[in-house]
Each structure stands twice: as C-alpha cells, then as structure tokens.
Amino acid sequence: MIGLLTTLTFTVPLIGGLLLFRLDERKADAVMLGSFLIAMLLQFSVLVEYLLHHNHETVHIAYITTERLGEAYGIIVDPMSVLIGTVVALAGFIFMFYGMEYMSGRNVGHPVGKGRGLFYAWMTLFEGATLGFIYSSTFLGLLIFFELMGLACWGVVSYYNTPAGRRAGFKAFIIPNVGAMIGFYTAIGIGITQLHDLSLFSLSHVSDSVKPWLFLALLIAGYTKSAQFPTYSWIPDAMEAPTPASAFLHGAAMVEMGVYLVARVLQFIGTLPTWIFYFMAVMVSLTLLIPILNYPVQNDAKRLLAYSTVAEAGIMFVGLTFASLGLEVGLKAAMFQLTTHAFVKGLAFLTAGTFTYSLGTLDMRKISGLKEVLPINALAWSVALLGLAGLPPMAIAFSKAELLTGLDALKTTPVAWLPILMVLADSAVFLWVGVKWITRNVFGKKSVEMASTHPIITASLIMLIILVFIVPYLAYPLVHEIGFFGGGH
C-alpha cells in the first residue's frame, strides 16, 4: 500500500503538469491547484501509513531490475524521504495557492492573467520531479528526476521571456547539468562496470580506493544544484522567475535537493577518509563568505533572499561536513535545517512577492511604513528576516542549535571550528542587515497612503507564519530517526 501511495505522490503532479501545457486561465487554475492538493494529500497519507504501520523502518521497493544493471529503478520510503517529501508537498501547495492570485491581472508589478497555464505546467512538473527525486533508490532514477527538475527550473526562470530571464534560465539549467554529468555519470558508470547494480545500497560495495573519488563527483553534483562556491552565481540571477517559483526553487526544491543528494549518498557510502572532511569544511566556509560580503549591499528584496539561500544551504552542508566524519548528528542537523528553512524562506519570498503585487517594486529603499499600510505583510517580513537570522523561537533557531550540538568533530580536528564560526558570522551579519530593513520597511514613514492585497495572499502568509513557529516540533520525531545505513559509520 505504501509503495502505491508513494508512487502516486509524484506521478499525479507529473501527469497534471503535462496536461497544463494545453490549458490556461480558470481551467489551468483548477488543474494546477488540484494536482498540488492531491499530491499533498497523498504525501500526508504516506506519512500516516509510514508512522502507523512501518515503525521507522526502511521500505525498499525495486520496480525495475535487470541482470546487467541490477536495480535500475525503485523507491525508498524511510524517515528522511518521508520527512522531506512532506515538506515539499506542503510547502509546494501553499506556494502555488498563493501563486494562483500572484499570477493574476491584479498584480501591480507583474500582471499576467492569460498565459499563466505555461507557468503552472512547469511548476507542477517541478513538484512531481522533486518528489520523484526524493523517493528514488537508484542513480538512474535520481538522474532522470534531477534533469527534469533542471528543465522545469529553466521553464519557470525564463517564463517572463525577458532577455535577462532567458539568460538566467539558461544559466540555471547549464550549471547544475554540468554537475549532474560529473556526479551521476560517474556513479552510473561505476554501477554498470564494477557493481552491476545502480542502487544506492550498492555504494557500500565500492572499493576503498574508488569511494572518495565517487563521493567527490557526487558532491560536485550537489554543490552545483545547491548553488555552493564556486557555482553560486546562477541563484541570484534566477530571481527573474515569478515569486512563487522563487519560493519553491529556494525553499523546497532545486537548492535543497543538492543537499538531499549528498545526504543520501552519505547514508549509504560508509566510511570516508578524513581529507573529505577538510575539503568540505574549506568549501562550505568559502561559500558562507559570499553572502556575508553581499548582504550589506543588496537593495532588491529577492536578491537579498537569494544570497541568504546560498548561506542556508551552506549551513546544511556544514551538517553534512560533520556527517562525513561519521557523526550522525550532522546528518540529522542538515535535514532539520532543510525542513525549517523551507517554511521561513517561503514566507520571506512570498512576502517579497507582495511588494511586487501590492506596491510594484522590490527595491527596499522605496518601501516603508508597512505596519500601517499592509500590517500582515509587515508582520510576515519581520518574522521572515528575524527567522532567517536564526533568532528564537523561529524555526531555524532549532536546526542551527542541533548543528551546534555536533561539536564532537572538534575532538577530531580544530578545523571543525572554521565552519561553525562562519555559521555564527553569517547569522550575525544577516541579523544586522535584517533589523536595518525591518526598521525602514516596517516602521519607517509611509511610502504610499494605501495599497491593496487579496485574501488568498493574506491566508498564505498567515499559514507560513504559523508553520515557522510550529514546524520544529512537528518534524523532530522523524529527524531523530534519520541515520546511516549498512553499519559503515
């Protein structure tokens, strides 16, 4: 039963996405929202079925096996895939519920109305591909859904068809695709020639001399997908996408799936040499330096949030850096950070989208007095910026605290201090910048006398504000069950 429910979770939006290429306006609204709603309900069914009947065990179903390839395609249902699948399905529904109004003719900055069916098609495919990626048990399945996510990302980033949008869409497709070729082609090549199995479970059988290089290749795929140093530049440019796509891209899909890929590999690959830890520690520290230097000079709300995404994904990779030493707490912290980040980053982007929708600008220098003009939006912007800085009791405070409990790595090497100090520095600088913009945008003198919003937008922001505060308590029981497979650590 759980296998069927899981498969339907990503199959339904994939089919819905294909149908949407032929639809527009109200029919497109209905099919898009229906696809996201059904996917969310199916994912909730998977969650309930898993918790009630599978007691945190790993459910592995091989759908396609051959003599040459071993397992070519299958699914894994375990605490990690169930948790992240639920995050993606819930966040995706809220983002596109909001998106139904954002993509209307009432949007001051980007009125659309007719033609939104194409955007819905790409977004619905994006949802299906992301969920398919999360549950895949083989490198062939991961590659197919990885590339489909990249195609959908190109579609949404270039949707407005401006010169900047077309360039950004091409860049968002090419950079992760290069990483995919390096990582997945290496893994599939080794699977075919040496292991005769494409399953993640076969990773533990890779020889010790090959294992670190295979991991490094897959790490490159994860870095490019997650916009880590030195391939981070595509993510600020991808702000050309409509805001609901930006929220999904940053909060629950593209960027997070690079982190998820590396976490999956670490679960199965077994013991790695210590130099992998040193390499990851240096790379993540360089990554965190980029947003620290860029926060103070950003005036565009979405670009500020884009650099924040580079940092938050980097913080997830700090957890995985500790996990490469065999510290299970690093794996848990990374997935906890992914979960909490999804909702606070979604809230931040959807609030920035209301600046476009209601005020026609993303230039934060032109926005002030929100507490009087748009009070719910003012509250949402304050919660989002303080939440991203890691201020308690917002969600990311808990996942960062989980990360800081992983200081056992300090017993291995003092180098472990480097990424920890960079996380603290990033939080401090973003808090300073966030407070500066809250003071101006929320409490400053009114920049306009009045601005209109819509109940759908208000409801979406309220749902996300609530989730920002409660999601750590809902997610932690599953986070606690996440661990390594195969006894390699």
Query: Across the strands, what pairs with 300?
Result: 363
Classify residue 447 as exposed, middle or buried by CB count within 10 Å of its CB (0-12, 13-18, 19+): middle
Give the pLDDT band of residue 23 (cuts 50, 70, 90).
very high
Mean pLDDT computed over 389-407: 84
Of residues 108, 111, 112, the one with CA closest to residue 448: 108
The pLDDT value given to residue 406? 60
b or e along 365-395 (b: 16 or more beta carbons within 10 Å of the residue's beta carbon)? eebbbbbebbebbbbbbbbbbbbbbbbeebb
What is the C-alpha to C-alpha distance for residues 88 and 92, in angstroms, rounded to an integer?
Answer: 6
What is the C-alpha to C-alpha distance for residues 39 and 22, in angstroms, rounded to an integer?
Answer: 20
Classify residue 215 as exposed, middle or buried by CB count within 10 Å of its CB (0-12, 13-18, 19+): buried
Q: What is the CA radius of gyration of the chain?
A: 21
Is residue 489 pLDDT above 60, yes or no?
Answer: no
Mean pLDDT for the chain overall: 93
Is residue 146 pLDDT above 90, yes or no?
Answer: yes
Using DSSP, state whether 269 is helix, strand or coil: helix
Mean pLDDT computed over 101-126: 92
The pLDDT value given to residue 285? 96
CB 32 within 8 A of CB 96: yes
- pLDDT (tens digit, 9 = 90+) per residue, 294-310? 999 999 999 999 999 99
From first CA to last CA, the distance across the chain in angstroms is 32
Using DSSP, state whether 70 is helix, strand or coil: strand
What DSSP state is assigned to residue 449? S
The pLDDT value given to residue 480? 92
Mean pLDDT computed over 36-49: 97
Q: HEC states along 74-125?
A: EEEECHHHHHHHHHHHHHHHHHHHHHHHHCCCCCCCCCCCCCHHHHHHHHHH
The residues near 28 (Cβ < 8 Å, ≥ 6 apart) are 20, 116, 117, 120
Is residue 382 pLDDT above 70, yes or no?
Answer: yes
Is residue 293 pLDDT above 80, yes or no?
Answer: yes
The residues near 117 (Cβ < 8 Å, ≥ 6 apart) are 20, 21, 22, 23, 24, 25, 27, 28
What is the C-alpha to C-alpha distance for residues 222 and 374, in angstroms, rounded to an integer?
Answer: 39
Is residue 20 pLDDT above 90, yes or no?
Answer: yes
What is the C-alpha to C-alpha distance for residues 432 and 323, in angstroms, rounded to an integer?
Answer: 30
Pick the more confident residue, 402 or 323: 323
**391 φ, ψ to 5°?**
-80, 125
What is the C-alpha to C-alpha distance for residues 356 and 240, in angstroms, rounded to an integer?
Answer: 13
Q: What is the DSSP string of 341-397?
A: HHHHHHHHHHHHHHIIIIIS--BGGG---HHHH-HHHHHHHHHHHHHHTT-TTSHHH
Using DSSP, state whether 159 is helix, strand or coil: coil
The pLDDT value given to residue 488? 40
What DSSP state is assigned to residue 199? B
The residues near 471 (Cβ < 8 Å, ≥ 6 apart) are 339, 340, 343, 395
- pLDDT (tens digit, 9 = 90+) per residue, 202-237? 999 999 999 999 999 999 999 999 989 999 989 999
Task: Report pTM.
Answer: 0.96
CB 59 within 8 A of CB 76: yes
Classify residue 49 as exposed, middle or buried by CB count within 10 Å of its CB (0-12, 13-18, 19+): middle
Q: What is the DSSP string of 209-236?
A: TTHHHHHHHHHHHHHHHTT-TTS-THHH
Is residue 282 pLDDT above 70, yes or no?
Answer: yes
Q: Do strands 59-66 and 70-77 pair parallel, antiparallel, or not at all (unpaired)?
A: antiparallel
Helices and strands: H and E segment counts in the chain:
18, 2
The residues near 153 (Cβ < 8 Å, ≥ 6 apart) are 126, 169, 172, 173, 176, 238, 249, 254
Mean pLDDT computed over 350-374: 95
